[in-house]
């Protein structure tokens, strides 16, 4: 076991540290953290327009008229369905802050680059428009890629000194506008050339190319159970060394999971069959019950069954935060970090959760997650009910019991050792 731990530490920890410090991974994390509030709000409007209760639609139609759903769908459309624009803003701002660039210049350059590569459609009256689907999850990977490249072009121009410098007497906001001219021009030229070149290809647009050759394969891989289990194993191993595995994995996987979530949300809004089992809600609400490691069962055991003063006190301290998915008191207080015994159920529990939830949804026992984004601190059972109905809530109950069952022998062993140590010290 000691050799195995040393091997993991030597091989994985350096990789994890590099990933955690990578500026692009950080920008992606900041991008999704920045838009999370809007996605949650939009998801609740989606839920209000599609509550699966008999008579609800008829009641709302009699109260608000036949077009009542538009009152909820419009807020959903301007949040979830144009999420790529918000991610671009947050990502480019984060990357600009890393490089100490002007944030407004970076954001505007990234947005104009994305819009240059976004397909337009001709309207019946001769006008042009952008389909809202091109601004939703379908354009997410293009938006992320464009954000990075556009900000890098701005940084390159800044480092080369390619900007118009105004006299000190000119107001700062005017001077900033002129200094951004050349970097923005470079961005427009580069991405306009890309747009023109791809117009001569079978794909027609760069967005279609990215969607078919990058986004679809990643979504197909990210929506499989084996890939999810491997990711969970890696995340748990990082936690075992005291590294925040969820932050690192989230930076890599959130674009995939949120795109899958958006697909389910769109299907839910249209009353169609939901396409994906594995989404961000699956990961957040059915694999991280009580936080990563499914430690809610362990906190309940400590709170109710601990005989040692150490774990009884820790149980009282951890039970409250654990209900809301905050399990650092257990991870670092028990500890689970660098504990070769407790790391076993810590990694095993979310893997079993994933398998149980996947089988339950694949067999139709529990509905697929409906695309509703909820705060990660939403307590289990309530979370399961919101994203998958009463059967989702029941699945959370089963998972809590499973967590207690998995952790029980390891907890009893640790508690027995703690009792013996306390008796020796008295």
| Separation CA 338–CA 324 (nearest Å) | 24
Is 363 in the same domain as 274?
yes
306 lies in some domain: yes
Model pTM greater than 0.85?
no
Contact indicator for 358, 374 with CB cutoff of 8 Å: no
285 lies in some domain: yes
Helix (H) or strand (E) run with residue 121 in it: strand 121-122
Is 253 in the same domain as 396?
yes
Domain end call among 222, 248, 273 = 222
Domain count, the chain: 2
60 lies in some domain: no
What number is the average pLDDT over the span 7-21?
65
155 lies in some domain: yes
State how far Cα 413 lies from the chain centre: 36
Tokens 């530490």 sit on residue: 9
Exposure b/e, 379-395, CB count within 10 A at least 16 = b: ebbebbbbbbeebbbbb
Q: Say if residue 30's pLDDT is above 60.
A: yes
Q: Say if residue 174's pLDDT is above 70.
A: no
Per-residue confidence band for 382, with pLDDT thresholds at 50, 70 and 90: very high
Exposure b/e, 295-318, CB count within 10 A at least 16 = b: bbbbbbbbbeebebebbbebbebb
Domain end call among 202, 222, 242 = 222
Is 201 in the same domain as 309?
no
Residue pLDDT, tens place only, 93-143: 999 999 999 888 899 999 999 999 998 887 777 777 888 888 888 888 899
68 lies in some domain: no
Residue 168's pLDDT is what? Answer: 62
Q: Say if residue 51's pLDDT is above 80.
A: no
The boundaries of the domain holding residue 381 are 234-425
Is 181 in the same domain as 217?
yes
| Separation CA 38–CA 164 (nearest Å) | 37
Per-residue confidence band for 175, with pLDDT thresholds at 50, 70 and 90: low
Residue 221's pLDDT is what? Answer: 82
Task: Name the token pair of 400.
Answer: 């809590």
Residue 89's pLDDT is what? Answer: 94
Residue 173's pLDDT is what? Answer: 66
Write down the mean pLDDT value for the chain: 86
Q: Say if residue 366's pLDDT is above 80.
A: yes
Residue 393's pLDDT is what? Answer: 95
Is 305 in the same domain as 414?
yes
Is 262 in the same domain as 389?
yes
| Separation CA 88–CA 324 (nearest Å) | 30
Residue 11's pLDDT is what? Answer: 64
CB count, 10 Å around CB of 368? 23
Is 200 in the same domain as 250?
no
Is 92 in the same domain as 174?
yes
Of 41 and 176, which is predicted with more confidence? 41
Contact indicator for 109, 187 with CB cutoff of 8 Å: yes
99 lies in some domain: yes
């Amino acid at each position: 076991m000691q050799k195995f731990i040393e091997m993991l530490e030597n091989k994985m920890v350096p990789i994890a540290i590099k990933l955690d410090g990578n500026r692009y991974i950080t920008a992606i994390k900041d991008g999704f953290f920045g838009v999370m509030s809007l996605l949650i709000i939009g998801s609740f409007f989606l839920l209000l327009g599609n509550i699966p209760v008999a008579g609800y639609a008829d009641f709302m139609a009699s109260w608000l008229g036949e077009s009542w759903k538009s009152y909820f769908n419009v807020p959903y459309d301007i949040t979830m369905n144009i999420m790529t624009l918000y991610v671009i803003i947050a990502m480019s701002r984060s990357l600009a802050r890393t490089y100490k660039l002007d944030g407004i210049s970076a954001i505007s350059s990234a947005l104009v680059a994305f819009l240059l590569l976004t397909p337009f459609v001709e309207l019946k009256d001769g006008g042009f428009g952008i389909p809202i689907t091109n601004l939703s999850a379908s354009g997410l990977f293009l938006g992320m890629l464009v954000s990075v490249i556009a900000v890098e072009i701005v940084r390159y121009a800044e480092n080369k000194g390619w900007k118009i410098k105004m006299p000190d007497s000119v107001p700062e906001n005017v001077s900033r506008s002129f200094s951004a001219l050349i970097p923005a021009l470079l961005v427009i030229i580069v991405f306009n050339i890309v747009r023109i070149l791809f117009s001569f290809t079978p794909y027609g647009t760069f967005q279609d190319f990215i969607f078919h050759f990058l986004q679809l394969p990643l979504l197909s891989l990210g929506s499989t159970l084996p890939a999810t289990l491997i990711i969970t194993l890696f995340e748990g191993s990082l936690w075992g060394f005291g590294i925040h595995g969820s932050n690192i994995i989230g930076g890599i996987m959130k674009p995939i999971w949120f795109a899958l979530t958006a697909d389910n949300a769109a299907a839910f809004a249209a009353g169609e069959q939901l396409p994906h089992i594995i989404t961000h809600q699956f990961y957040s609400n059915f694999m991280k019950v009580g936080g990563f490691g499914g430690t809610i069962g362990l906190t309940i055991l400590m709170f109710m069954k601990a005989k040692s003063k150490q774990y009884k006190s820790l149980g009282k301290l951890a039970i409250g935060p654990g209900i809301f998915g905050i399990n650092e008191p257990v991870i670092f207080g028990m500890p689970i970090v660098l504990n070769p015994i407790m790391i076993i159920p810590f990694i095993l529990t979310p893997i079993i959760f994933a398998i149980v939830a996947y089988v339950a949804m694949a067999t139709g026992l529990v509905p697929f997650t409906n695309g509703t984004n909820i705060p990660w601190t939403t307590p289990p059972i309530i979370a399961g009910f919101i994203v998958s109905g009463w059967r989702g809530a029941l699945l959370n109950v089963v998972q809590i019991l499973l967590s207690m069952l998995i952790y029980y022998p390891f907890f009893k062993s640790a508690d027995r050792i703690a009792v013996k140590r306390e008796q020796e010290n008295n």
